[in-house]
Structure 1
């Protein structure tokens, strides 16, 4: 794995499009990424992390418009997107098209975990010609890790321990938040928080209340 600067994002994009894995920083922590339609590349992430296959990877939207094009956006989902995207909130959304969903199995069928990132990860998704699947850069076994990597040095430790072949890690310094995405299930008319995280539950509920 080679460390690169944020202004060398093109190298990471080219690697993803070639079927390789890359790791990029977010405000929360570092994320390992693959082409969401490359099932073999995504399978390498699952194997390296020891991640249960039942836990889907996240789909990183390339733009706000893509959310409505690809997924069924309920009134609550639209309100949450307006309030918090791009940002540190993810939604469980239902794919509009089942055939498209099957092409993106690593991020979930018939529902996917979807987010729009405000930083380097979002830039990666926006500029790439392939869809981006991502998850935290750490082993899934909590007894073998301190948690997701928040520095490039911790990324290097994760890559060594997991024995994953990673083309590049974009060194974005220290991820300051050290916390998860907040996840809201928006597959039904009544949205429901399924995991607390960076975006406070009260803020989520305030946004949802605006449409009820």
Structure 2
């Protein structure tokens, strides 16, 4: 089922998530496939369809910074990074404040791979009563020269859904232009560490926290 971007905040998308269905959302990078992070059936469907290892976490999409503060421990560096780059193309490994939340949202790992997204993904996270878990729309690959990477156009989304047999509500966002990853940082210790390079450059990270970021 295809839904225009202007319609994605209607009850159709929210009801789909609440009912355990998946929702495919465009970002500036590529399409992401979303599920209720507290629904094990939904995220297990994603893991199975993507052929993704069980121990590889999905991204936790928080609706706003205050919600992240409620759930997770933020260091002073984390606060600086969030102020500089959220909502945006940055994900942070953050420790849970309470074990019961870590257990409920275990699909995003402990520490939790956390982002606050702009655009349709962020707007969906802001209106959904729960929390979203979201990986890219593609079968997990090895990143080699023949690996096309995540879907950036609707025909690639359709191909993924047909190949995997997943049922999803698809939000039409046209072409996703950046085709690059979130930058990922480990913020679980006093020394922030670069885990994966992406759209947010290490020099920008350094400028935000005022010190070199070791890789």
Q: Partners of 1:88 and 1:14 in 2: how far apart?
A: 27
Which residues in structure 2 correspond to 1:116-131 (within 5 Å)? 116-131=116-131
State the match for 1:7 in structure 2. 6
State the match for 2:32 in structure 1. 31
State the match for 2:97 in structure 1. 96
Deviations 1:47-105 (A, max 9, x none): 00000111100000111211111110001100100100000000000010111110001
State the match for 2:184 in structure 1. 183
SS at match of 2:48: helix
**RMSD between aligned residues:** 1.6
Q: CA deviation at 1:152?
A: 1.3
State the match for 1:21 in structure 2. 22
Q: Partners of 1:100 and 1:16 in 2: how far apart?
A: 19
SS at match of 2:135: strand
Deviations 1:107-138 (A, max 9, x none): 112x1000000110000000001210000000
> What are structure 2's unaligned runs of at least 5 residues?
none
Distance 1:121 1:170, change over 3 A: same
State the match for 2:77 in structure 1. 76
Q: Partners of 1:211 and 1:71 in 2: how far apart?
A: 24
> What are structure 1's unaligned runs of at least 5 residues?
none
Distance 1:68 1:18, change over 3 A: same
TM-score, normalization: structure 2?
0.93
* CA contact 1:93–1:186 (8 Å) conserved in 2: yes
* CA contact 1:36–1:104 (8 Å) conserved in 2: yes
State the match for 2:140 in structure 1. 140
Q: Partners of 1:5 and 1:69 in 2: how far apart?
A: 33
Q: CA deviation at 1:141?
A: 2.4
SS at match of 2:14: helix
Which residues in structure 2 correspond to 1:48-67 (within 5 Å)? 48-67=49-68
State the match for 2:158 in structure 1. 156
* CA contact 2:206–2:212 (8 Å) conserved in 1: no
Q: CA deviation at 1:210?
A: 6.0
